[in-house]
Amino acid sequence: MSYYKIENLEEYFKHYKKSIREPKKFWDRIASENFTWYQEWDNVIDFNMAEAEIKWFTNAKVNITKNCIDRHLAKRGEKTAIIFEPNDPSEAAQHISYNELYERVSKMANVLREQGVKKGDRVCIYLPMIPELAISLLACARIGAIHSVVFAGFSASAVASRINDCECKMVITSDGSYRGNKAIDLKGIVDEALEKCPCVETVLVAKRTNTNVNMKEGRDQWLQPLLDDAMNTNVAEIMDAEDPLFILYTSGSTGKPKGMVHTTAGYMVYTAYTFKNVFSYEENDVFWCTADIGWITGHSYILYGPLLNGATTVIFEGVPSYPDFSRFWEVIEKHQVTQFYTAPTAIRALAKESVEYVQKYPLQSLKVIGSVGEPINEEAWHWYNDHVGGKRCPVVDTWWQTETGGIMISPLAFVTPTKPTYASLPLPGIQPVLMDEKRNEIEGNQVTGSLCIKYPWPSIARTIWGDHQRYKETYFSAFPGKYFTGDGALRDEVGYYRITGRVDDVVIVSGHNLGTAPIEDAINEHPAVAESAIVGFPHDIKGNALYGFVILKESGENRDRDNLSKEINQHISDHIGPIAKLDKIQFVSGLPKTRSGKIMRRILRKIAEGDFSNFGDITTLLNPEIVDEIKDGKI
């Protein structure tokens, strides 16, 4: 029996038990039977949760791209690895075979080496969803450079802070990008960012929009001529299992974004294994995940997970609403997609439109449909199940995080019975526990608590770039000896998990994880603002939207409030990006604070939601009178 694929529920329970009782044996076998190694490990796992030190497959030697590409060439050389579906449906789709992918990644890897990038160097990738994006990540991995992808919707100052935090030596970008009927000047954003980034020596620019851009002498180079001159074979760098593969920034509840560091072997084994089982992947399936590669979902389930399994994966440059709301369905039909993986926010937005957009297409190719990024509400779940999955495709509601690297709690398609809004059962190797406020583990079923994981899994992030102390404090100190997810969850009568949402100051807006602190910092930089507090409130399409309570300085009090609101949102756009804009702004004279100066956000959350019924205990507030004032201001 192979351990790699779980065929039915009984087998799931058997594998799950094995993975908990004998984690070393379990992962040892999966790793050695399904991947190509230069050298196998001394130890499957070494860890110390108190110190947040975790190592998997110690001393093993491997290169992830050998596993994503080279080992498939003999059997699947002519098979399509990547289908590129452009923003504009009248532009032809591209099919990139594994042979071609090998050549293009080799060329790119050779260009990077020629440009002086070495093992361990950091490379910032700021590209739209075009083949060069996937190829750039793989080329970095090929030569052992650490990729740090910054989502191409982030502003210049967000790009600059991410580049500086991990001191990238190179940026790979494009002249521009297309999104729906808009063209965006990506290179201009990079130029602005680089004014503050002395560490960047080289910028490689791919052509996409053919627009005029500034090329800085001695720093910027067009990518294509370099690729044309490069050799089309490349010898992969031999990497240690624990060498960093990439850094990916995620919002924290306080302070600057956290550069989560993922390492090579554990990430490889876990993303491949979860891809295979959650989506029940079979040879010749066509897998489409609609996320952007700039997020973890794209890293793990557009790129690495599918390629590690020799799959065909779709890279979609566009948006669900262009040219009209049937684009997703048209693309599924066109490429005969078998697994479709998207976010609740997209589902809700499409469900608002006429159902004819989706009914126009039979969607018979689909076998599995997935959801990720935020809790999926009952209505959206049913719409997705009925109209997209035709009630015949299992809906896999996958719960996981940037920090976890791969899917943690989810139904396995055709194995786990699904239940609307429930992420259901943990993957093998994952030990979720619910904790109460006294830090005790809550036993039994039909309970709720803070979701922790009590044993490491192969793809857990190993640290925060440059700040191991912060990693330890953020994830391992609230509940000593356990990894704290920041989410609350409920366990039902049969042990199924439902994620209820964040229990910290992170708000998930349209599936994007936004820390309130950096947004407040951006607002507070506006010259008329004294202080601010952000909370999330329910929104029909985005899941949550942002509500800002803003205290003005004296100098701002006579200003026009509509103009001020616009300026504040512009400030947020410039500092973070348009995704962090506030839906509502309320100007207030004070914020409810405890004696220790902490803003009591639960009160602000209730006011933002319009629920004035019960504010709970407000006796610890220094200024309880402000609650009525804010409430009355809203009414």
Q: Read off the tokens for 356.
A: 């004819």
Tell me if 372 contacts ligand PRX by CB under 6 A: yes
Q: Which stretch binds ligand PRX (CB under 6 A): 94-102, 163-171, 398-406, 520-528?
A: 398-406
Task: Please tell me whether residue 342 binds ligand PRX under the rule CB under 6 A.
Answer: no
Per DSSP, helices labelled H in 442-587 are 468-476, 516-524, 561-575
Phi, psi at 167, each rounded to 5°: 50, 65
Smallest distance from the beta carbon of 177 to ligand PRX, in angstroms?
21
Between residues 72 and 258, which has the closer beta carbon with respect to ligand PRX?
Answer: 258
To ligand PRX, the closest distance from the beta carbon of 225 in angstroms equals 37
Closer of 372 and 568 to ligand PRX (Cβ): 372
Q: Which two tokens stand for residue 399?
A: 């719960």
Residue 173 identity (one-letter amino acid): T
User: Is residue 513 a contact point for ligand PRX (CB under 6 A)?
Assistant: yes
Q: How far is the CB of 511 from ligand PRX (least distance, A)?
A: 7
* Piece of 17-25, 237-245, 480-488, 598-606 that binds ligand PRX (CB under 6 A): 480-488
The residues, ordered by sequence, that sit 6+ positions from 443 with a Cβ below 8 Å of its Cβ are none
Contact between 178 and 88 under an 8 Å Cβ cutoff? The reply is: yes
Which residue lies nearer to ligand PRX by CB, 175 or 397?
397
Interface with ligand PRX, residue 607, by CB under 6 A: no
Per CB under 6 A, the segment of 351-359, 372-380, 424-432, 543-551 that binds ligand PRX is 372-380
**Position 449 contacts ligand PRX (CB under 6 A):** no
Q: Toward ligand PRX, which CB reaches closer, 252 or 429?
A: 252
* Amino acid symbol at 563: N
297 near ligand PRX (CB under 6 A): yes
Q: Determine how β-strand 61-62 pairs with β-strand 80-85.
A: unpaired
Between vectors from CA 279 to CA 277 and to CA 284, what angle results, nearest 5°? Answer: 105
Binds ligand PRX (CB under 6 A): choice among 174, 398, 459, 569: 398
User: If we measure between CA atoms, which residue out of 12, 8, 23 comes closest to residue 409?
Assistant: 12
* 250 lies in the binding site for ligand PRX (CB under 6 A): yes
Helices and strands of the chain, counted as H and E runs: 21, 30
How far is the CA of 452 from the CAs of 22, 170, 306, 445, in angstroms? 20, 37, 28, 16
- C-alpha of 598 from chain center: 30
155 binds ligand PRX (CB under 6 A): no
Cis peptide before 323 (omega within 30 of 0): yes
Footprint of ligand PRX on 20-79 (CB under 6 A):
none
Report the sign of the C-alpha dihedral through residues 467, 473, 474, 476, in that order.
positive
User: If binding is defined by CB under 6 A, does position 340 make contact with ligand PRX?
Assistant: no
Q: Residue 516, interface with ligand PRX (CB under 6 A)?
A: no
Place of tokens 């109209």: 387
Using rule CB under 6 A, residue 424 touches ligand PRX: no
Kindly state whether residue 484 participates in binding ligand PRX, applying the rule CB under 6 A.
no
Q: Where are the beta strands (DSSP E) in 59-120?
A: 61-62, 80-85, 94-97
**459 forms part of the interface with ligand PRX (CB under 6 A):** no
> Whole-angstrom Cα distance, residue 137 to residue 448?
39
Q: By CB under 6 A, name the one of 423, 435, 585, 630 that touches ligand PRX.
A: 423
Q: Is 402 in the site for ligand PRX (CB under 6 A)?
A: yes
The site for ligand PRX (CB under 6 A) is made up of 250, 296-297, 372-375, 397-402, 423, 485-487, 499, 502, 508, 513
